[in-house]
């Protein structure tokens, strides 16, 4: 299978981390949708990344759908709980929190790329505040915990790592480590994982 994406997309990184943690053979293809001839535009009617092309040519799109599908391909490890509805809900809620951080950070990035006179300060403030509140919530929730949910790595951890890596990339001025010691300690541990190291390596 092929994962189409870009190295800067946090949603692509989340999908890639799941593939790497599950040891699923795949080809990672850098394919910006805005480039002429992009395969993404041919296989995903939304023209968005990530897009996962299966061996039979079927395309799976949207990072939440991709990660859920990939987790069913083997049991080593199980990243989304299958036999405990409450635990599954908590993992998916963590994913929603992480995706929300990504969504707001991407919106801030896009807004600040506009000409200064066209930028909407209220939009930037709204989404910066959302990121700050989400980070505080995540850090408080991680107090005394090694993983986001339970005693093992789950999708919750991979989604949150993807969000924080994106903040480091696009909001380097945000001192989230200094502000949130629990989050910083958790991120230091997960950053040592082979999957995370691979995902942040320059292409």
CA distance 14 to 64: 9
Domains of the chain, residue spans: 2-71, 85-193
Which residues fall within 8 angstroms of residue 100, CB to CB, at 6 or more apart? 130, 134
CA distance 171 to 174: 6
**Three-state secondary structure call for residue 147:** coil
Give per-residue pLDDT as tens, 50-72. 999 999 999 999 999 999 999 99
Give per-residue pLDDT as tens, 156-199. 999 999 999 999 999 999 999 999 999 999 999 999 999 999 99
DSSP state of 119: -
Percent of the chain with pLDDT over 90: 98
Q: In this structure, what token pair is assigned to residue 138? A: 């995540």
Mean local confidence (pLDDT), 4-8: 97
**pTM of the predicted model as reported, rounded to 2 decimal places:** 0.96
Fold of 85-193: Glutathione S-transferase Yfyf (Class Pi); Chain A, domain 2 (1.20.1050)
CA distance 69 to 100: 21
Q: Kindly tell me if the per-residue pLDDT of 11 is higher than 70.
A: yes
Percent of the chain with pLDDT over 70: 100
9 CA to centre of own chain: 8
CA distance 185 to 115: 37
Give per-residue pLDDT as tens, 104-129. 999 999 999 999 999 999 999 999 99
Fold of 2-71: Glutaredoxin (3.40.30)
pLDDT of residue 75: 96
Q: How far is CA 173 from CA 30, 58, 155, 170, in A?
A: 27, 41, 27, 9
pLDDT of residue 203: 59
Q: Kindly tell me if the per-residue pLDDT of 89 is higher than 90.
A: yes
Closest CA to 37 of 26, 47, 50: 47
pLDDT of residue 56: 97
């Amino acid at each position: 299978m092929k994962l189409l994406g870009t190295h800067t997309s946090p949603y692509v990184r989340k999908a890639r981390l799941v593939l790497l943690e599950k040891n699923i053979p795949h080809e990672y293809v850098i394919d910006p949708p805005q480039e002429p001839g992009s395969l993404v535009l041919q296989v995903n009617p939304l023209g968005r990344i990530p897009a996962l092309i299966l061996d039979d040519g079927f395309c799976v799109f949207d990072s939440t759908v991709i990660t859920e599908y990939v987790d069913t391909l083997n049991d080593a490890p199980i990243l989304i709980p299958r036999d405990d509805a409450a635990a599954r809900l908590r993992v998916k809620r963590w994913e929603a929190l992480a995706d929300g951080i990504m969504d707001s950070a991407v919106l801030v990035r896009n807004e600040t790329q506009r000409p200064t006179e066209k930028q909407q300060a209220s939009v930037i403030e709204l989404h910066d505040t959302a990121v700050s509140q989400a980070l505080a919530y995540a850090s408080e929730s991680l107090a005394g915990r090694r993983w986001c949910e339970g005693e093992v790595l789950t999708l919750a951890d991979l989604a949150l790592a993807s969000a924080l890596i994106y903040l480091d990339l696009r909001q380097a001025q945000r001192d989230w480590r200094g502000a949130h010691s629990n989050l910083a300690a958790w991120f230091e541990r997960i950053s040592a994982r082979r999957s995370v190291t691979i995902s942040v390596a320059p292409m």
